[in-house]
Each structure stands twice: as C-alpha cells, then as structure tokens.
Amino acid sequence: MSRTIDLRADIGEVLISEEAIAARVAELGRQVTADYRGEPLTLVSVLKGSLPFMADLMRQIELPVRIDLMEVSSYGGTATESSGLVRIIKDLSASIAGEHVLLVEDIIDTGLTLNYLVRYLRGKNPASLRICTLLDKPARRLAEIPVDYRGFEIPDQFVVGYGLDYGERYRNLRFVGVLRPEVYSAPE
Ligand code: IMP
Ligand code: MG
C-alpha cells in the first residue's frame, strides 16, 4: 500500500491551476490551427507524461489531424534526472514521411530526450517538424531545442501532475504542482 493516498497532501504549491492549463491549451490549439492553415497535421506525443496534454490539445486544433504515440525511457537516470540516453519502448505506428509533424511533449528540462527524438524523427523525412511543449524549464538546458509552441516557462523545480510523475505517481492530478521535499526523502 502507498504511504499516503492523499496525493494532494504531497504537493507544496500549485504552480499552474487546472483553469490556467485549460486556457493556455486552448490558446495553443488556436495558434496551431492558424499556423497550419488547413494542412493535415500529424501529432506525435511521447508517453506517458504527455497523455493529458495531447488529449486536450488535439481537441483544440481544428485541422485534419492524425495522431501517433511513442514511448521512450532514459537509461540510468533517476526519478528526477534524465540521463539523455534514450531507449524507444514504443515506436511510431505509421510512416511520417512527407507529413507535417508536431511533436507534443509534457516538459523540456535538459532537452536531452527531445534532442534525441528530434534527430530520430527528422531521419524519417517528415515535410516539417515542429515542437510543442506544455512546460519549459530552461534553467537546466543542455541541448539546444527550437521550441515552436510553449505552454508555460517554469522555474527549476521538480513538478508533478497533469501527466507528470514522480515514481509513476501523481500523473492524475488536474494541476501542475511542486512536490514537498519530504516526499523525495521519505522511505517507501
Ligand atoms: P529532459 O531529457 O531532461 O529534457 O527530460 C525530459 C523528461 O524528463 C520529461 O519528458 C519528463 O518525463 C522528465 N522530467 C523532467 N523534468 C521533470 C519534472 O519537473 N517533473 C516530472 N518529470 C520531469
Ligand atoms: Mg517521468
């Protein structure tokens, strides 16, 4: 059993409310809709963290949209640090050659994961490849990433909720919040 079932109690500060997320996602959807001018678009999201963002964003885009999902994990990282060595657990299910692709991410931290993914997807010869991230934590960037659509820039804090996890938990919170430091140090 988990130490606590009150996930909300583990959150110190709500950084981005459910309402603020919804409003920003709607804005991003309008921007994407306007930019692609009726062109068909393939949204590629990266499981599992991007799942709620993808589900909400796709419904705010008024274009002929196709979706595909990838899942990656990074080798040798910790629960709060990515290593940049990426393993593809689930690949695209259809070709993206000649397609306009928008990569939908939950968060860019060091940028190492996305740097790998961008190279990988470019190798599949899409007509274009742009990047949309809900959260951007620029303070710790190690790889330069051209971000086309950004929901929120956040400070260098480890956040959970709206898809983001710590040890696979908290993904189901409706907001983005900062975990209390005790949660990191507490034994399971
Ligand atoms: P990056 O390779 O350092 O940019 O990290 C990318 C991945 O690390 C994200 O897709 C998340 O899964 C995870 N990550 C980075 N920062 C956070 C955070 O603050 N909370 C939860 N997961 C994070
Ligand atoms: Mg994670």
- The catalytic residue positions are 109
Average pLDDT score, the chain? 92
- Measuring from atom 15 of ligand 1, which residue has the nearest CA? 109
Quick check: 135 and 151 in contact, CB under 8 A?
Answer: yes
Q: Please tell me the pTM assigned to this model.
A: 0.92
- Structure confidence at residue 17 (pLDDT): 97
Cα distances from 110 to residues 10, 52, 81, 89, in angstroms, run: 25, 22, 9, 20
Distance (Å, whole) CA 186 – CA 144: 35
Domains and CATH numbers, the chain: 19-154 (3.40.50.2020)
Share of the chain above pLDDT 70, in %: 90
- Structure confidence at residue 86 (pLDDT): 87
Residue 188 — pLDDT band, cuts 50, 70, 90? low
Peptide bond into 48 cis (omega under 30): yes
Beta bridge partners of 132: 104, 149
Q: How close is the Cα of 123 to the center of ligand 1, in Å?
A: 24
- Give the three-class secondary structure for 177: strand
Q: How close is the Cα of 132 to the center of ligand 2, in Å?
A: 18
Residue 8 — pLDDT band, cuts 50, 70, 90? confident
- Assess whether pLDDT exceeds 70 at residue 15: yes
What residues contact residue 125 under an 8 Å CB cut-off, 6+ apart? 96, 97, 98
Q: Which atom of ligand 1 is nearest to the CA of 111?
A: 4
- Structure confidence at residue 178 (pLDDT): 96
- Structure confidence at residue 74 (pLDDT): 74
Quick check: 136 and 106 in contact, CB under 8 A?
Answer: no
- Structure confidence at residue 27 (pLDDT): 98
- In tens, the pLDDT along 55-111 reads 999 999 999 999 999 999 876 666 676 667 789 999 999 999 999 999 999 999 999
- Structure confidence at residue 7 (pLDDT): 82
- Structure confidence at residue 187 (pLDDT): 59
Across the range 4-10, mean pLDDT stands at 77
Query: Considering only 20-24, 31-35, 112-116, 146-150, which range has the smallest mean pLDDT?
Result: 112-116
In this structure, which ligand is nearest to the CA of 177?
A: 1
- What is the number of other CB atoms lying within 10 angstroms of the CB of residue 55? 13
